[in-house]
Chains A and B, each alone.
Chain A
């Protein structure tokens, strides 16, 4: 029987915890901050995060310590740390869980991260529709200012930091780090051309690191328990725990914290409680809508970056969408492509034209106007879109479409004319 491993959620899972500053400090919060600011240099903080093997929790899984290590030093320009709380992929709600329940945990990580990369003004980019979480976060930040944990000379050290919350305005693409930076600069959220990378030319053309909420929340934990202990959690190359958000036709949907590499099937049955009404699983989307669907026979795997990739999908944001036998795959595919078509920024050809075309093609099946030629066409258009677009959204849209028609052709055949 798989159990939760409450590391990030230790406070949240303790009864009566309300996420306030007092509660956080009573639960032993800000020890890591004190340790970092008073007894560690920025370099040793980065070293510790590198050592821990922490991989970014925003979807791509890029090592956080390495990201910070790329930031050029002494450029004469300010450095920025931007926390990506834009979380807008259908099925993903773990960052909002942290912001709502325990905002001080990731804020502590944000302060430590800022110290590590020499940032004196950090931004939290939160999605626009999340007015309530943004307000809650603002209260938390105001309290930190009052407690002199933000502002000038934090904890009596020479380190100054301001944090500004920047609300988006309803564009999924702003979760892509360069689009997020464009949006932070008051522009249309269109991903930038790379190179140059944000590490050298990010916000306001200054060195910038963009990190996910959950990644930052792990930082104080790493400093508290030590990188070696952290590394022992999870599987090889996939250290730590993950907040897994389970949604869909599941008995107990919600956020569960498990060690990386826990068995996917066990997560669904032991933690999620299996399917509602005793139904069978038809499809599992393991990492948010942009990941390829897995069939029930494919889910007996370790739930970490490498094993899920090996199964032909991706871990992404650890957002499990589990759907039962009554699911119409065409309906699922249509909702997915409608989402990506709507959220495409429209600047590059494959994504702008490809998602539109795919949407039209899948809609034909949705309207029972399909034929074999259209199945082949979906596969061809999706396959050819893959890898030619400017940012990952094109791939994110094309991948699942190709997978749907390849894995469930019979479902599409049901919608022939």
Chain B
């Protein structure tokens, strides 16, 4: 590979690659506003200036070059440290700021603002601008976003995104010279489902999220890597939270899945994570027809005792699991049903995406609104679109029904069949019609409250991490299942989801070779599926 030198450090690059691209790939920080790997290069902000002291032919460049538009050349010597380039960065920082309102104290972007960071790092710290600043005014541009144009630094990322990535070109650039403005057409509001990406792209606080407005200071948030559970695509995200509250979900770059993007439906998934109203908050048992709260020890003992009383086997026991459960939970659930009762487990099947449309963003939204259908399928849970298998199993009047999550909760016919069982045990995160018929409610955790893995629609296994603690009486489903299994007399070496995943490979062919570490930050495809 050819090499150039950034401040005397060799950097390998591919033929035709620009300086900034190669430098960023090698973990170097080059200040930049308009450059974004997803968008065309426009070299407008001029922040990524570099001093090319040797163009690869022994001669220095006549002036500072923008590293986003300059292709690297073998033997090129580039610097981000010379006085010349520092002066350039000073100037650009100063000019970028002369008409900026400097309203950081009330700006949502504050704390994660490129302008703030670069002005601090590369600016002079003072300004000689004494004239009145240019003002544009606030604009209501979308259902999910807001535009404060005074903060705009004219990087044009929003316009390029709407033209090149989203495609509708609903953000335009109007007027010229110092009046240039980025805006929507008159009062046209953006309504598509990919507005949040504009917020992420905007390097300053010009485009902000409606729902995050004036809510939290960005620097107070802790960002826990995770995977979006709103559909089967499995966009990589961070769960941004503070004081045990999830404040927002943000996409995390993964070129194999969602690149830099996610949809707004996914983003508003944070609301459910804070929902206490519809949440199963405490263990409950049905006594004389009424569900009443009980503590975990009592209820676990009662469940075991009841199961031993009924002592059902085979077809007399049915397991129903929805596909919001992680691979580890589904595996343990299935294992419990097989090992304790010799029984079968069923999961609802979901319509899969039709052929890709070629529009990357639209293809991100899957019609399957659960994150782990592919995992359930890989683990061999009985799934069919017409629900024949599960109906037949329930028509055999089982005595015991185990329910993990809320499978078929809208299917009153199946629910009525299940209600006939002697004992229904429900591990629930959110309340659903199952609560009407269950004998026991064991409250579980959301995807932001536990560790585990999901398998996305393309068969990619990806990790989630606990970001916040579950409500006091809720428990990680893995622990609930392991406790039940031990109570029923099955010894298991597992204690945590990580251990479950690491052990999965030897028992399930699809998970062969996958461990917590090999799955890593960006996920791994199931055995036999091409990356």
Known A353-B96, A357-B129, A377-B128; judge A346-B91 contact (CB<8 A): no
A345 contacts across to B, CB distance below 8 A: 176-177, 180
A341 and B177 within 8 A (CB): yes
Which partner residue on chain B sits nearest A364 by CB separation?
A: B131
A384 within 8 A of B: yes
B-contact 0/1 string along A333-374, CB 8 Å cutoff: 000000001111111111011111100110000000000010
B88 touches A388 (CB 8 A): yes
* A-B contacts, CB under 8 A, total: 94
Most chain B CB inside 10 Å of its own CB: which residue of A194, A361, A377, A387: A387
* CB contact list, A137-191 vs B, under 8 A: 171, 188
Asked if residues A193 and B87 are in contact (CB atoms below 8 Å), the reply is no
B44: min CB distance to chain A, Å:
5
How far does the Cβ of B102 sit from chain A's closest Cβ, in whole Å? 14
Q: Which of B63-71, B186-194, B499-507, B512-520 contacts A (4 or more CB under 8 A)?
A: B63-71
Are A352 and B154 touching (Cβ within 8 A)? Answer: yes
B526 within 8 A of A: no
Across the interface, A347 reaches (CB within 8 A) one of B64, B88, B98, B180, namely B180
Closest CB of chain A to B490's CB: distance in Å?
Answer: 65
Using an 8 Å CB-CB cutoff, how does the interface string of B157-181 with A read, 1 for contact, 0 for none?
Answer: 0000000000000000101111110
Is the pair A349, B153 in contact by a Cβ cutoff of 8 Å? yes
Distance between Cα atoms of A195 and B153 in the complex (Å) = 24
Report the minimum CB–CB distance from B312 to chain A (whole Å).
72
A188 B177 Cβ-Cβ under 8 A: no
CB contact between A349 and one of B134, B154, B173 (< 8 Å): that residue: B154
Please judge, given known A-B contacts A348-B43, A388-B64, whether A354 and B69 are in contact too, CB under 8 Å: no
B256 at the interface (CB under 8 A from A): no
The answer to whether the Cβ of A389 comes within 8 Å of any Cβ in the partner chain is: yes
A321 at interface (Cβ–Cβ under 8 A)? no
| Cβ B46 vs Cβ A348 within 8 A | yes
> Interface size for chain B: under 10, 10 to 19, 20 to 34, or 35 or more residues?
35 or more
In the complex, the chain B residue whose C-beta lies closest to that of A373 is B128
A110 to chain B minimum Cβ distance, whole angstroms, is 30
Please determine whether A349 and B45 come into contact, CB atoms closer than 8 angstroms: yes
- Whether B63 and A353, one on each chain, are in contact in the complex, defined by CB atoms closer than 8 angstroms, is no
Q: Mark B488-506, 1 if CB is under 8 A from A, else 0.
A: 0000000000000000000
Q: Are B46 and A389 in contact (CB under 8 A)?
A: yes
Q: Which residues of the partner chain A approach B95 to less than 8 Å between Cβ atoms?
A: 349-350, 353-354, 357, 385
CB atoms of B91 and A344 under 8 A apart: no
Tell me the nearest residue of chain B to A376, going by C-beta: B128
Asked whether B302 is an interface residue with its Cβ less than 8 Å from the other chain, the reply is no
Q: Which residues of A contact B440 (CB under 8 A)?
A: none
Measured between beta carbons, the chain A residues less than 8 angstroms from B94 are: 384
Cα–Cα, bound, A194→B179 (Å): 25
The reply on B92 being an interface residue by CB < 8 A is yes
Residues of chain A within 8 A of B262, CB atoms compared: none
In this complex, what residue of B is CB-closest to A374? B130
Contact of A347 with B156 at beta-carbon distance under 8 Å, contacts A195-B69, A388-B64 already known: yes
Q: Please tell me if the beta carbons of A346 and B178 are within 8 angstroms of each other in the complex.
A: yes
Query: Nearest chain-A residue to B42 (Cβ)?
Result: A193
Contact B177 A353 (CB under 8 A): no
Chain A contacts with B in 3-29, Cβ cutoff 8 A = none
Contact flags B81-119 to A (C-beta < 8 A → 1, else 0): 000000110111011101100000000000000000000
Q: Assess whether A390 is interfacial by the CB under 8 Å rule.
A: yes
Least Cβ distance of A361 to chain B in Å? Answer: 8
Complexed CA–CA distance, A349 and B180 (Å): 11
Q: A385 is contacted by which of B91, B154, B178 (Cβ under 8 Å)?
A: B91
Contacts of A352 in B (CB 8 A): 154, 177-178, 180
Q: Which residue of B lies closest to A340 (CB)?
A: B177
CB contacts (< 8 Å) of B44 on chain A: these are 347-349, 390
Inside 8 A of B176's CB, which chain A residues have their CB? Answer: 171, 188, 344-346
Interface pair B180/A346, CB less than 8 Å apart: yes
Check B509 for interface membership: any CB of A closer than 8 A: no
B23 at the interface (CB under 8 A from A): no
Asked if B41 CB lies within 8 Å of chain A CBs, one says yes
Inter-chain contact B91/A388, CB cutoff 8 Å: yes
Q: Which residue of B lies closest to A194 (CB)?
A: B69
A interface vs B, CB < 8 Å?
Answer: 171, 188, 193-195, 341-350, 352-357, 360-361, 373, 377, 380, 384-385, 387-390
The 8 A-B pairs of least Cβ separation, nearest first, read A346-B180, A356-B178, A384-B91, A387-B63, A353-B95, A360-B131, A344-B177, A193-B43
Chain B residues with a Cβ under 8 A of chain A: 41-47, 49, 63-64, 66, 69, 71, 87-88, 90-92, 94-96, 98-99, 128-129, 131, 134, 153-154, 156, 173, 175-180
With A356-B178, A388-B91, A388-B92 known, 9 other A-B pairs at CB within 8 A are: A171-B176, A194-B69, A348-B44, A350-B46, A350-B95, A357-B95, A387-B63, A388-B46, A390-B44
